[in-house]
Amino acid sequence: MAEGFSSQGFYDDLVKNRLIIPTSVPGVFGRGTVFEDVLHRFDALLSRAAAPDGAEVMRFPPTLDRKVFEKSEYLDSFPQLAGSVFSFTGTEADHIQLREAVHAGRPWAQWQTMTDVVLTPAACYPVYPSFTGTISETGHLVDIQNWVFRHEPSPEPTRMQSFRMREFVRIGTAEVVVAWRDMWHQRGLDLLHSLGLPATSDVAADPFFGRLGRMLVGNQLEQKLKFEGLVPVISKEQPTAICSFNYHQDHFGQLFGLKLPKGGLAQTACVAFGLERCVMALFKTHGMVPSSWPEGVRSRLWV
Amino acid sequence: MAEGFSSQGFYDDLVKNRLIIPTSVPGVFGRGTVFEDVLHRFDALLSRAAAPDGAEVMRFPPTLDRKVFEKSEYLDSFPQLAGSVFSFTGTEADHIQLREAVHAGRPWAQWQTMTDVVLTPAACYPVYPSFTGTISETGHLVDIQNWVFRHEPSPEPTRMQSFRMREFVRIGTAEVVVAWRDMWHQRGLDLLHSLGLPATSDVAADPFFGRLGRMLVGNQLEQKLKFEGLVPVISKEQPTAICSFNYHQDHFGQLFGLKLPKGGLAQTACVAFGLERCVMALFKTHGMVPSSWPEGVRSRLWV
């Protein structure tokens, strides 16, 4: 492992050890045998930590119902990160033109039209519309793991366009969801520490777009709606957020009409682990070869 | 379980037993706790069957390098199935217009431009460009499992827009890859039979687009390039293809410049299991409640 911190150095180490398999697109790469093995073991450790809670498992494809996405207000806040899916719906004559354009290396966007799906921007988005109307007395707890998309091409290895989020979502009263979020905040940090990761946590904000967005950042920080778990991966001074603990207030309850049994809107919270980032934090902290990781770390993952 | 075969009846059974979680888009749905559990167990059974071969594990995101996709000639053959990814790259002024359109329920495609990625159309596509130039003496064997996208919205539950393919890819000489494909053809059928599935196999063709495409179908059938494993899921007369065994000749070797050590183009073959379809075949054959499946089937999956 390279000592010190460098984005390019860490990327090169990952490639050299065949932990990742590069493509020509920044932020899009394959995961190698060892990387995937560690990722599944970390994911299983999260499952064990969460097991006492008895969450309902749901898994969603990387494509999301466009109507749900439009309703979610994601495009108000993060238009630059969203990905929408287009397809060819033309005739055979159109197809001849499309083929010619592709083979000649010319743009072919004009033969693509918007479909009914977009790329899932955050793992929890498909969960809310799956509960409609009045929620149950004790609320809901859901366990998800989805591929999400963020259009932010970058050579920085932790800034991926496609990656997996393991999330848990709590739906209920304000008291219940905030207490649950705070419980996971501590549980998450404890879990990272148990793997020898020098994790800290801090209040944080989402990357809202534009000038209006900068005002929303202030609001989010002030109300402590988001905390992030941070580990140095490509910089010591600016550690990488590898997980987050989020309180949405009644944002999703309002958008998707989730009501409490005793009246009023349901509130929601979610905790999210960026699985690839967690794995990269392990490789940065303990080295590129898991067989030489500290015994205490190995025994937590290789049960 | 409903006796007999019906697309809508099977879909309703899946929903009623919370095996799938519907959205408003045909062919896009969540997978419930029990469905996911069976899927992972089936996937693990495939891993055990393939273990003696020692394939290199690679996992790719659901997004594929657009340059690789353009080179693959997929748009020549299946333009109607492909999905391309678009994003917003405009100014704050553009964003105001985008927001207004979305909130007013008007089309917003005009504020989306084509990105450098498309949705992965087949799990093996990212594998070929990861090997460049002359391949090794014994060739290559790769183990993949990716989400793939097919734009073919349908209420028929086995016809999904987003689903997972578990694939193995063999790269080498014609003799090696054909023998390997044929070995898997038998191994795959044996594996399905060991789970009590009434699987048959037949020569098959891909859904090529248009009039020209219909000629390609004839060619593919005649040369026996593709075999499918078939199980009745929504129709007894037209069983569903749940896996396929494919010989590509030098198609990908030519496109991606894969050369044999002794000269000439490398040839390739792949075997692909549609994981959701395999799981649906199990639910259709044995019923909606895995705890009442035959003991011989359970012991194969719940090791």
Write out pLDDT tens, residues A173-226: 999 999 999 999 999 999 999 999 999 999 999 999 988 888 889 889 999 999
Q: Rounded to an integer, what distance in angstroms lies between the CA atom of residue A192 and that of residue A243?
A: 10
Tokens 């590129």 locate to A288
The helix/strand/coil state of A187 is helix
Is A99 domain-assigned? yes
Q: Which of A215, A206, A196 is nearest to A244 (CA)?
A: A206
**A143 and A97 share one domain:** no
Is A238 domain-assigned? yes
Q: Rounded to an integer, what distance in angstroms lies between the CA atom of residue B88 and that of residue B110?
A: 9
The domain in which residue A101 lies consists of 85-119
**A181 and A98 share one domain:** no
The total number of structural domains that make up chain B: 2
Chain A residues in contact with B81 by the CB 8 A cut-off are 87
Contact in structure between B63 and A161 (CB atoms under 8 Å): yes
Cβ of B99 under 8 Å from any chain A Cβ? yes
Contact in structure between A198 and A182 (CB atoms under 8 Å): no
**A170 and A202 share one domain:** yes
With 0-12 CB in 10 A as exposed, 13-18 as middle and 19+ as buried, what is B262?
exposed
A269: enclosing H helix or E strand: strand A267-274
| pLDDT at residue A82 tops 70 | yes
Tokens 């990656």 locate to A163
Q: What pLDDT was estimated at residue B1?
A: 45
The last residue of one of the domains, among A95, A119, A143, is A119
Q: What pLDDT was estimated at residue B26?
A: 97
Is B238 domain-assigned? yes
**B113 and B240 share one domain:** no
Q: Rounded to an integer, what distance in angstroms lies between the CA atom of residue B215 and that of residue B209?
A: 10
pLDDT band at A1 (very low <50, low <70, confident <90, very high): very low
The last residue of one of the domains, among A93, A119, A145, is A119
Cβ of B153 under 8 Å from any chain A Cβ? yes
Give the amino acid at A191.
L
Closest CB to A25 among B57, B95, B116: B116
Q: Answer whether A83 sits within 8 Å of B83, measured CB to CB.
A: no
Chain A residue at shortest CA distance from B119: A85
Write out pLDDT tens, residues A91-124: 999 999 999 999 999 999 999 999 999 999 999 9
Tokens 């910089």 locate to A235
**A47 and A97 share one domain:** no
Task: Check which CATH number belongs to the domain holding A181 and give it.
Answer: 3.30.930.10
**A67 and A103 share one domain:** no
Closest CB to B95 among A63, A113, A209: A209
Cβ of A63 under 8 Å from any chain B Cβ? yes
pTM for this structure?
A: 0.96
A 108-137 residues with CB < 8 A to B: 108-109, 111-117, 119, 126, 129-130
Contact in structure between A146 and A121 (CB atoms under 8 Å): no
**B228 and B106 share one domain:** no
- Mean pLDDT in chain A? 96
Cβ of A61 under 8 Å from any chain B Cβ? yes
Percent of chain A with pLDDT over 90: 93
Q: Rounded to an integer, what distance in angstroms lies between the CA atom of residue B55 and that of residue B57?
A: 6
Query: What's the angle, vertex CA A167, arms to CA A164 and CA A170, rounded to 5?
Result: 160
pLDDT tens digits, chain B, 303 residues: what are they?
446 899 999 999 999 999 999 999 999 999 999 999 999 999 999 999 999 999 999 999 999 999 999 999 999 999 999 999 999 999 999 999 999 999 999 999 999 999 999 999 999 999 999 997 888 889 999 999 999 999 999 999 999 999 999 999 999 999 999 999 999 999 999 999 999 999 999 999 999 998 888 888 988 999 999 999 999 999 999 999 999 999 999 999 999 999 999 999 999 999 999 999 999 999 999 999 999 999 999 999 998
**B266 and B277 share one domain:** yes
Cβ of A104 under 8 Å from any chain B Cβ? no
**B152 and B94 share one domain:** no
**A136 and A188 share one domain:** yes
Q: Answer whether B86 sits within 8 Å of A99, measured CB to CB.
A: no
**A248 and A113 share one domain:** no
DSSP string, A51-94: GGG-PEEEE--SEEEHHHHHHTTHHHH-TTT--EEEE----HHH
Chain B residue at shortest CA distance from A29: B60
Is A77 domain-assigned? yes
Is A1 domain-assigned? no
Output the CA–CA distances (angstroms, integers) from residue B17 to B31, B88, B124, B283, in the order listed.
11, 39, 33, 11
**A44 and A74 share one domain:** yes
The last residue of one of the domains, among B97, B119, B141, is B119
Chain B residues in contact with A64 by the CB 8 A cut-off are 28
Cβ of A5 under 8 Å from any chain B Cβ? no
Write out pLDDT tens, residues A19-55: 999 999 999 999 999 999 999 999 999 999 999 999 9
Chain A residues in contact with B113 by the CB 8 A cut-off are 109
Q: What pLDDT was estimated at residue B132?
A: 79
Is B197 domain-assigned? yes
Instruction: Please name every residue paired with A86 in a beta bridge, in sequence order, or none if there are none.
Output: A114, B84
Is B26 domain-assigned? yes
Chain B residue at shortest CA distance from A30: B60
Cβ of A159 under 8 Å from any chain B Cβ? no
Is B2 domain-assigned? no
Q: What pLDDT was estimated at residue A215?
A: 86
Q: Rounded to an integer, what distance in angstroms lies between the CA atom of residue B4 and that of residue B236?
A: 8
Q: What pLDDT was estimated at residue B81?
A: 97
Cβ of B96 under 8 Å from any chain A Cβ? no
Q: What pLDDT was estimated at residue B147?
A: 98
Instruction: Please name every residue paired with B272 in a beta bridge, in sequence order, or none if there are none.
Output: B167, B244
| pLDDT at residue A302 tops 50 | yes
Contact in structure between B159 and B27 (CB atoms under 8 Å): yes
